[in-house]
Amino acid sequence: MRFLRAVIIGFLSIFPGTIVGYLGWLATGGSEEVWAPEVVFFCNIIPFGFVFLGFIWAWRNGEEYGVKIYEKKPDRDITYNKNITYNTVTNITDSAIVADNLVNIANDDVES
């Protein structure tokens, strides 16, 4: 979910990138030569730079959409701890996985 969100936001950020690139291209004189440095910079690098920065921004701010599962085994003498943290449950399938994992944890605690 986090990756998909970051990709979508990254692709959507091409729209403000093209507007900024267009304004920069106009400010530099609006050259129509294809390989002119200002055309390459404002018409290619700026929009795709916005896509890259949009993806990075969305990834860094999308931690709440990630699922973190970790297991902790401190020592052999201490009872085995399983810590499962779900930040968001997005659909019924995830709810079933959470319920199944909780049942498995409860069964492991009873057996040990």
Same domain, 71 and 86: yes
**Residues 60, 12 share a domain:** yes
Q: Are 11 and 58 within one domain?
A: yes
Structural tokens at position 105: 């944890």
Indicate whether 9 and 60 sit together in one domain: yes
Does 91 share its domain with 55?
no
pLDDT at 81: 47
In a shared domain, residues 29 and 55: yes
Task: Kindly state whether residues 75 and 105 are assigned to the same domain.
Answer: yes
**What does DSSP assign to residue 39?**
H
How many angstroms separate the CA atoms of 37 and 30, rounded? 12
| CA gap 61, 57 in Å, rounded | 6
C-alpha torsion sign, points 73, 79, 82, 83: negative
Q: In 3D, which of 109, 54, 62 has the Cα closest to residue 81?
A: 109
Q: What is the pLDDT of residue 70?
A: 59
Q: In this predicted structure, what is the pLDDT of residue 110?
A: 59
The predicted pLDDT at position 109 comes to: 56
Number of compact structural domains in the chain: 2
The domain in which residue 81 lies consists of 67-111
pTM metric for this prediction: 0.57
Low-confidence ranges of the chain (pLDDT < 70): 67-112
Q: What local confidence, expressed as pLDDT, does residue 22 receive?
A: 96
Claim to verify: residue 15 and residue 54 sit in the same structural domain? yes
Residues 17 and 53 in one domain: yes
